[in-house]
Amino acid sequence: MPSIAAIPEPMAVDDSASKKAKRKQLKAEAAAAAEAAAASSGKKEKKEKKDKKRKTKEPASSDEEGRSSTSSDSDRAPSAKKAKKEKKDKKAKAEPAEEPANDDGELTASGEEEEPADPNALANFRISDKLKDKLKSKGINALFPIQATTFALVLDGNDLVGRARTGQGKTLAFVLPILESLVNGPHKATRRTDYGRPPSVLVLLPTRELANQVHADFEFYGGTFGLSTCCAYGGSPYRPQENALRQGVDIVVGTPGRVKDLIEKQKLNLRCLKFRVLDEADEMLNMGFKDDVELILGKVEDVTKVQTLLFSATLPEWVKKLSMSFLKADRKTVDLVGNEKMKASASVKHLALPCNKAARSQIIPDIIKCYSHGGRTIIFTETKESASELSSLIPGSRALHGDIAQAQREVVIAGFRSGKFLVLVATNVAARGLDINDVQLIIQCEPPRDVEAYIHRSGRTGRAGNTGIAVMLFEPRYKFGVTRIERESGVKFEHISAPQPTDVAQSAGNEAAEAIASVSDSVIPVFRQQAEELLSNSSMSAVDLLAKALAKAVGYTDIKKRSLLSSMENHTTLHLQTGRPLYTPSFVISTLKRFMPEDRLSSLHGITLTTDGTSAVFDVPSAEVQDYIQARRTWPG
Ligand SMILES: Nc1ncnc2c1ncn2[C@@H]1O[C@H](COP(=O)(O)OP(=O)(O)OP(=O)(O)O)[C@@H](O)[C@H]1O
Q: Cα-Cα-Cα-Cα dihedral of 290, 296, 302, 305, to 10°? A: -80
- Residues 468-509 pLDDT 10s: 999 999 998 888 899 999 999 999 999 998 887 777 777 777
Find how far residue 157's CA is from the centre of its chain. 32
Select from 168, 218, 220, 460 the residue to mutate for testing ligand 1; criterion: most ligand atoms less than 8 Å from CB.
Answer: 168
More confident residue, 571 or 503: 571
Q: Strand pairing of 468-474 and 348-354?
A: parallel
Q: Which atom of ligand 1 is nearest to the CA of 138?
A: 31
pTM: 0.69
Q: What is the ipTM of this complex?
A: 0.99
Vertex 232 angle, CA 228 and 237, to 5°: 115
Look at residue 27 and tell me whether its pLDDT is greater than 80: no
Q: Three-state DSSP class for 433?
A: coil
Nearest to 27 by CA among 72, 83, 68, 67: 83
Q: How far is the CA of 484 from the centre of ligand 1 (A)?
A: 28
Answer whether 174 contacts ligand 1 (Cβ < 6 A): no
Answer whether 466 contacts ligand 1 (Cβ < 6 A): no
Long-range contacts of 408-414 (CB under 8 A, 24+ apart): 409/208, 409/209, 409/235, 410/212, 413/209, 413/212
- Residues 193-217 pLDDT 10s: 888 899 999 999 999 989 999 999 9
What is the per-residue pLDDT for 562?
A: 74
Rg of the chain taking only CA atoms, in angstroms: 29
Nearest to 578 by CA among 612, 628, 620: 612
Phi, psi of 175 (to 5 degrees): -60, -50
What is the per-residue pLDDT for 47?
A: 40
Catalogue the E-assigned strands of 401-438. Answer: 423-426
Q: In sequence order, which residues have a C-beta less than 8 Å from that of residue 520 and are 6 or more positions away? A: none
Answer whether 143 contacts ligand 1 (Cβ < 6 A): yes
Look at residue 100 and tell me whether its pLDDT is greater than 70: no
Instruction: Specify the residue with its C-alpha closest to ligand 1, atom 13.
Output: 464
- Residues 159-205 pLDDT 10s: 999 999 999 999 999 999 999 999 998 888 788 888 889 999 999 99
What is the per-residue pLDDT for 52?
A: 38
Nearest to 272 by CA among 239, 235, 300: 300
Answer whether 172 contacts ligand 1 (Cβ < 6 A): yes
Q: For residues 293 and 275, what is the distance between their CA atoms, to the nearest angstrom?
A: 15
Vertex 101 angle, CA 97 and 103, to 5°: 145
Answer whether 588 contacts ligand 1 (Cβ < 6 A): no
Answer whether 144 contacts ligand 1 (Cβ < 6 A): yes
Q: For residues 515 and 508, what is the distance between their CA atoms, to the nearest angstrom?
A: 10
Nearest to 354 by CA among 336, 367, 344: 367
What is the per-residue pLDDT for 635?
A: 64
Q: For residues 24 and 26, what is the distance between their CA atoms, to the nearest angstrom?
A: 5
What is the per-residue pLDDT for 362?
A: 86
- Residues 378-417 pLDDT 10s: 999 999 999 999 999 998 999 999 999 988 999 999 999 9
Q: How far separated are the first and last CA of the chain, in Å rounded?
A: 7
Answer whether 168 contacts ligand 1 (Cβ < 6 A): yes
Q: For residues 223 and 175, what is the distance between their CA atoms, to the nearest angstrom?
A: 12
Sequence letter at residue 300? V
Task: Please state, in angstroms and as integers, the Cα–Cα distance from residue 34 to each residue in 27, 50, 390, following that order.
Answer: 10, 20, 31
What is the per-residue pLDDT for 86?
A: 39
Q: How far is the CA of 147 from the centre of ligand 1 (A)?
A: 10
Q: How far is the CA of 492 from the centre of ligand 1 (A)?
A: 24
- Residues 329-381 pLDDT 10s: 999 999 998 778 888 999 999 999 999 888 899 889 989 988 998 899 999 99
Find how far residue 126's CA is from the centre of its chain. 31
Task: Please state, in angstroms and as integers, the Cα–Cα distance from residue 258 to each residue in 205, 241, 253, following that order.
Answer: 11, 10, 10
Answer whether 334 contacts ligand 1 (Cβ < 6 A): no
DSSP annotation of 518 reads T
Sequence letter at residue 541? S
Task: Please state, in angstroms and as integers, the Cα–Cα distance from residue 581 to each residue in 611, 618, 636, following that order.
Answer: 11, 16, 20
Answer whether 435 contacts ligand 1 (Cβ < 6 A): yes
Least confident of 50-54, 302-306, 604-608: 50-54
Q: For residues 509 and 495, what is the distance between their CA atoms, to the nearest angstrom?
A: 26
Q: For residues 392 and 399, what is the distance between their CA atoms, to the nearest angstrom?
A: 8
Q: How far is the CA of 259 from the centre of ligand 1 (A)?
A: 25
Select from 435, 438, 452, 454 the residue to mutate for testing ligand 1; criterion: most ligand atoms less than 8 Å from CB.
Answer: 435
Question: Interhelix angle for 170-183 vs 129-137, to 10°?
Answer: 150
Mean model confidence pLDDT for the chain: 80
DSSP annotation of 121 reads B
Answer whether 482 contacts ligand 1 (Cβ < 6 A): no
